[in-house]
Amino acid sequence: MNFVISKCASVRISEVSVSSPGDSPNTDGIHITQSTNVALQNCKIGTGDDCISIVNGSSAIKMKGIYCGPGHGISIGSLGKDNSTGIVTKVVLDTAVIRETTNGVRIKTWQGGNGYVRGIRFENVRMDNVDNPIIIDQFYCDSPKSCRNQTSAVKVSQIMYRNISGTTKSAKAMKFSCSDTVPCSTIVLSNVNLEKEDGTVETYCNSAEGFGYGIVHPSADCLTSHEKDYNFLDQTGVSQDHSLNEEAEEMVELADSNDDRIVDHTEL
């Protein structure tokens, strides 16, 4: 790994450039573990692994003005390997260009783990020819052998994707591959527009609950909801005429709140 932030509090990294070949293994650009209140600003990262990886014990992470490519994208995880506990909360990526990477914004967890990922916001992101622009993978298996099926999982909830556009290499521009026993919940999509240069695009869902408002392309109708009537009026807000569950209301409030609430030791 190029940079590792481990067991730290109140860290700011800005104007950093990382350049590793796209085929270099395990060369994460910036790796954050067991740290809180971390700000990454105006960084350009090219690598053979994740441009930024955020793993267990990390919270209040703010990234702004990030260029990623080549690499595996900007990832939360992996979490839950070898039946371990993984916890990541309050992460914001605001303003990024992700170009020619295998993933865009990704959450990856192993079967058999426990813990949770929640309170995550990815917004104002431009994808350029990315394999998997938006992906949640609760069946992550970075192993030469196939991973056995397990019922426990790291809970993924309160994930917002807002103002994300660009091009995908994969027909499945959005993938929400979640645990049947610990489904993903409150996935919020707002103003997402992903296209494939030579074909149509779609969204894949497995055990994923959420909703979209504004423009959402490809359609995320495969997301399920416990609410009977998630109807949204326009691109700017949520209709007050339709009820949201408390978790959904919290996510919309988070999206519209001041970013300084997430990382308050520095202005970004």
CA dist., res. 128 & res. 59, Å (int):
28
CA dist., res. 87 & res. 12, Å (int):
21
3-state secondary structure of 94: strand
72 is catalytic: yes
CA dist., res. 33 & res. 70, Å (int):
22
CA dist., res. 62 & res. 60, Å (int):
7
How many residues in the chain? Answer: 268
In the set 31, 72, 217, 242, the catalytic residue is 72
Are residues 98 and 74 in contact, defined by beta-carbon separation less than 8 angstroms?
yes
* Per-residue tokens: 151: 């019922």
Q: What are the beta bridge partners of residue 153?
A: none
Give the sign of the dihedral formed by CA 168, CA 176, CA 213, CA 76. Answer: negative
CA dist., res. 114 & res. 208, Å (int):
17
Are residues 37 and 9 in contact, defined by beta-carbon separation less than 8 angstroms?
yes
* Per-residue tokens: 232: 């949204």
Identity of the amino acid at 99: R
Which residues are part of the catalytic machinery?
72
